[in-house]
Amino acid sequence: MRTKLFFKNSIIILITKLICYLGEFLCRTVLIHTLPMEYVGVTGLFSNILAVLSLSELGFGTVMVYSMYVPLAHNDEDRLLALTDFYKKAYHGIAVAIAVMGASLTPFLRYIINDCPDLPGLSLFYLLFLGNSVLSYFFMARQSLFLADQKLYITNIYSNLFRIVRIVFQIVLLVTTRNFILYLIVPLPFTLLTNLVLSWRAPKYYPFLNSGRHPVLDWEEKKSIFKNVYAMFNHRIGSTILSSTDNLLISFFLGLTEVSRNDSYCMVLNLLRYLAAPLFSSLTAGVGNYYATKTKEDTYRLFTALHFAGFWFYTFCTVSFFFLIDPFISFLWGGQFLFPTPVVLLISVNYFITGIRQVPITFKEAIGLLYQDRYKPLLESLINLLVSILLVRYMGIAGIFAGTFVSMVMTSLWVEPLVLFKYGFGRPVKTFWLKNLKYFLAGVAGFGLTWLCCMPMELSGLPLLAVRAALCLIVPNITMALFFFKSAEFKYILGLLKPVIRKAS
């Protein structure tokens, strides 16, 4: 795996994403203080509706990137051109499908929202959200080359630069006009401009894109792609229902006020996900290249080390989220956006389970194991919806998060590593779970010690946030280090980091 390029991707993207997300926090804060709470709920609800509509993408992006690993490694320009053209046509069709399906939902918006408030222009708000989503699918084909070639930092520099400018425009308009429609119009030109610029820049790195040649994929290649797309679509159903239907259920059963509260927690969780996403996006291309050039034993050793690092990372993030989220939201947006502690604990547990699955998912997708567990997401989705709808009537909003927890434990948590070990590594999965048990016990110890340190405090506001942040940084990390500093996984990670640290110093 190209370690240097992986860290270059990760560091550049982390910095730019962090700057952008700080801007998004500021923009949301301005929105909360300039418009009624229902408008905040509308942004969360419509974003989730469009995430569900994005299922029309069918997972083409992931499959096409996977298809490019081998031709990039062998500099097969004709096959890369054929894949890029095929991807372009597919995404144009997807954009049209999302536009049609999304527009057809417009008359039913008031039935989705419990006690729908009288917001003038509700349908127009939704159509502007939809328009921005549709525009995002145009001029995307060439960007897949950056991702497959471990040059994701290029797309992120441009997209995040435009995103920062867009955020500034939105904040200025909110402060000066308090007009929600103008706030929603601003993203449209920036989304189109981002894709146009990236499409224009791609030939600088891949000159064959302007060769004028138009090779096509043969039927067998298309058949293989559609087979993987079918499998990936099933996976997308599962992940989308887990991550994007909560606000739909909350809106239908509990109303926009609860959507606004949930969106506050989701925004912080999304920050954590966005910070982690570049790591896994960069890692996917690296693992695909590594698997294509190394032995299964080498890939397995890499997996065990990265899974250990991922478990540690998500233990730290989960502990920090649980102890910092309430004082953070209270300080920034007010106590009216807070959930009860048991609900926050459920949200934290779901985030942790989703997090520790990321390395197995990354390896499974990079290796191309999309078809073997194609029915798992459908079962997971069904369990999630049924349990959530059943429990929301008795537990309120906690029931919706409990449904997510039950569905993941019953399906994804054990099926994904089973497929990876059986078809990817050719090993029994028992060793994976024995290691996970040790990691989990260390994580619980770190959480418990942090709880003992944080809970006796009689502070509030910024002092509480600062002291808890210091404890979250120190306690769980020292606990994990004491448990595992002699382990083979810890030493392997240090071996990967040492050349990077030595060069940086």
pLDDT tens, residue by residue, 283-326 = 655 676 666 666 777 788 888 888 998 899 999 999 999 999 99
Question: Under 8 Å CB-to-CB from 381, ≥6 apart: which residues?
Answer: 237, 238, 241, 242, 407
Q: pLDDT value at position 231? A: 65
- 147-156, 194-203, 421-430: segment of lowest average pLDDT: 147-156
Q: Which residues contact 174 (CB under 8 A, 6 or more apart)?
A: 27, 30, 31, 34, 35, 183
Query: In 3D, which of 181, 187, 184, 99 has the Cα closest to residue 137?
Result: 99
User: Which one has a higher pLDDT value, 279 or 447?
Assistant: 447
pLDDT of residue 13: 65
Kindly state the average pLDDT of the residues 407-425: 90
Indicate the helix (H) or strand (E) that contains 395: helix 376-395
Query: What was the pLDDT predicted at 447?
Result: 96
From residue 190, give the alpha-carbon distance in Å to each of 162, 184, 186: 6, 11, 7
The count of residues in the chain is 505
pLDDT of 123 > 60? The answer is yes
- The answer to whether the beta carbons of residues 263 and 41 sit under 8 Å apart is yes
Are 381 and 329 in contact by the 8 Å Cβ rule? The answer is: no
Q: Model-level pTM?
A: 0.73
- Residue 382 pLDDT: 86
Nearest to 438 by CA among 397, 479, 470, 472: 479
How far apart, in whole angstroms, are the C-alpha atoms of residue 271 and residue 293? 34
Residue 361 pLDDT > 60, yes or no? yes
Give the Cα separation of 107 and 431 in Å (integer): 53
Model pLDDT, residue 234: 64
Centroid of chain to Cα 172: 28
CB atoms within 10 A of CB 364: 23
Q: How much is the pLDDT for 10?
A: 61
Helix (H, G, I), strand (E, B), or coil: what is residue 146?
helix
